[in-house]
């Protein structure tokens, strides 16, 4: 009886510590954003705000570039309509989105791993990383995309009835309306329905996706001649092939390329055709093998870099990829957040390597789906333009495997999903961890961009 009470007390203490750390982090991030008059918008944030102001009748409607899915602009426009031109309500809403995403991650991984401890550690790794939670304060669509994606996975994981499959399709459609890169991968969600062997579930999933995406697909057809929610692939392909550095925001290739893209032709379809031809010309000039070699040696450094999007916006030398969007960031606060971000980023990567190398439940449909998801994402980013923020959709799964590994380190269990035994597995884990650490940390050393 006393042991059970001790366990309950320990759990409550750990929960209190977690809540305190999370609230401290949130206070620090809000202070960082709003200190000295607020953060300067960066990149696509400017376009999303202009689009939302046009939708809310607060400014001129910009021409539709055909690049961005509409959901984030709709959310921002709704916030502007209700609360006026204040970003705080949207930031609070997006904070709830990311907390909801972590709760879904916990539920998903509890079913996969079977241990509450592993699921709790996965959610904690995600929520306590300031580089993850800072997305709640920005205007990019990552928070709503991540919430919708994990909701779709959870509904599909528990889809014993067609209504849940339909709702999974609705959530998946919403994820595509936030980030269009899912548009080619969404059928893989059927893996999570396969164990039910019901055609009605698959049909319901298709119906849910169609209900949400039909309107934007029709609009994309009218704009580009293809049933696409949005399509920036040709532009980002040229941008990716022209990148030179292993860190983002150093002489950004797409920032200087955008003006040329819009001046190249009057319609999105014509511009995309011109840029596809340019991409083919670059590959033909360089050769396929040299192109792939160069891309392998650069793009994944950008993706896994410890210089996350939060770090890139803190004060620092522009030659090292610091945009300085947090113009008046208090030095001590920035250093503390940077240290926390670096630590949790590296722990997540190393923990993922351990969890993956020692994983034992490969037949679980969610594990199979996540493996395909990584292959799909890594395949895309081998050629396309890459920024560190593109890692966020993969971060819950990095944290999930890391949570399982940390749970096994804390309390070894021969029947657990991760059992840390086997010389060969330790060699694989060490090799993968070393590779990920190299990608996270060595880019600036290789580049020497500041001379």
* pLDDT at position 195: 59
The model's pTM: 0.94
* pLDDT at position 197: 54
Low-confidence ranges of the chain (pLDDT < 70): 1-7, 36, 160, 194-198
Nearest-10 crossing angle of helices 331-357, 116-127: 150
Category of 448 on φ-ψ map: left (φ > 0), alpha (ψ -120 to 50) or beta: left
* pLDDT at position 194: 62
Burial class (CB within 10 angstroms; exposed 0-12, middle 13-18, buried 19+) of 78 = middle
3-state helix, strand, coil in the chain (%, to 5): 75, 0, 25
How far is C-alpha 408 from the geometric centre of its chain's CA atoms? 26
């Amino acid at each position: 009886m006393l042991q059970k009470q001790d366990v309950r007390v320990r759990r409550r203490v750990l929960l209190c510590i977690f809540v305190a750390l999370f609230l401290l982090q949130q206070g620090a991030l809000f202070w960082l954003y709003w200190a000295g008059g607020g953060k300067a918008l960066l990149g696509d944030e400017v376009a999303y705000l202009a689009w939302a102001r046009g939708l809310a009748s607060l400014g001129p409607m910009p021409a539709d570039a055909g690049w961005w899915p509409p959901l984030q602009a709709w959310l921002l426009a709704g916030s502007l309509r209700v609360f006026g031109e204040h970003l705080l309500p949207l930031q609070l809403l997006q904070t709830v989105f990311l907390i909801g995403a972590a709760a879904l991650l916990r539920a998903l991984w509890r079913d996969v791993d079977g241990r509450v401890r592993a699921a709790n550690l996965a959610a904690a790794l995600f929520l306590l990383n300031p580089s993850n939670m800072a997305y709640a304060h920005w205007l990019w669509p990552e928070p709503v995309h991540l919430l919708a994606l994990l909701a779709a996975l959870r509904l599909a994981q528990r889809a014993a009835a067609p209504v849940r499959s339909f709702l999974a399709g609705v959530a998946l459609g919403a994820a595509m309306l936030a980030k269009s890169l899912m548009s080619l991968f969404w059928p893989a969600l059927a893996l999570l329905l396969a164990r039910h062997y019901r055609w009605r579930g698959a049909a319901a999933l298709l119906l849910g996706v169609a209900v949400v995406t039909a309107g934007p697909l029709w609009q994309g057809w009218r704009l580009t001649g293809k049933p696409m929610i949005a399509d920036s692939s040709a532009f980002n392909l040229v941008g990716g092939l022209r990148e030179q550095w292993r860190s983002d925001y150093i002489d950004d290739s797409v920032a200087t390329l955008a003006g040329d893209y819009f001046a190249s032709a009057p319609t999105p379809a014509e511009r995309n055709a011109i840029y596809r031809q340019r991409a083919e010309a670059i590959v033909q000039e360089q050769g396929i093998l040299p192109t792939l070699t160069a891309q392998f040696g650069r793009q994944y450094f950008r993706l896994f870099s410890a210089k996350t999007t939060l770090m890139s916006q803190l004060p620092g030398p522009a030659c090292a990829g610091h945009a300085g969007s947090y113009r008046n960031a208090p030095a001590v606060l920035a250093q503390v957040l940077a240290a926390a971000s670096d630590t949790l980023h590296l722990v997540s990567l190393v923990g993922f390597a351990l969890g993956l190398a020692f994983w034992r439940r490969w037949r679980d449909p969610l594990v199979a789906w996540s493996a395909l998801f990584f292959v799909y994402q890594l395949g895309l980013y081998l050629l396309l333009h890459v920024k560190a923020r593109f890692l966020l959709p993969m971060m819950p799964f990095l944290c999930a495997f890391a949570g399982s590994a940390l749970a096994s380190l804390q309390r070894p269990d021969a029947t657990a999903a991760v059992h840390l035994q086997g010389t060969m597995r330790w060699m694989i884990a060490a090799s993968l961890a070393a590779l990920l650490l190299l990608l996270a940390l060595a880019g600036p050393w290789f580049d020497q961009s500041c001379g």
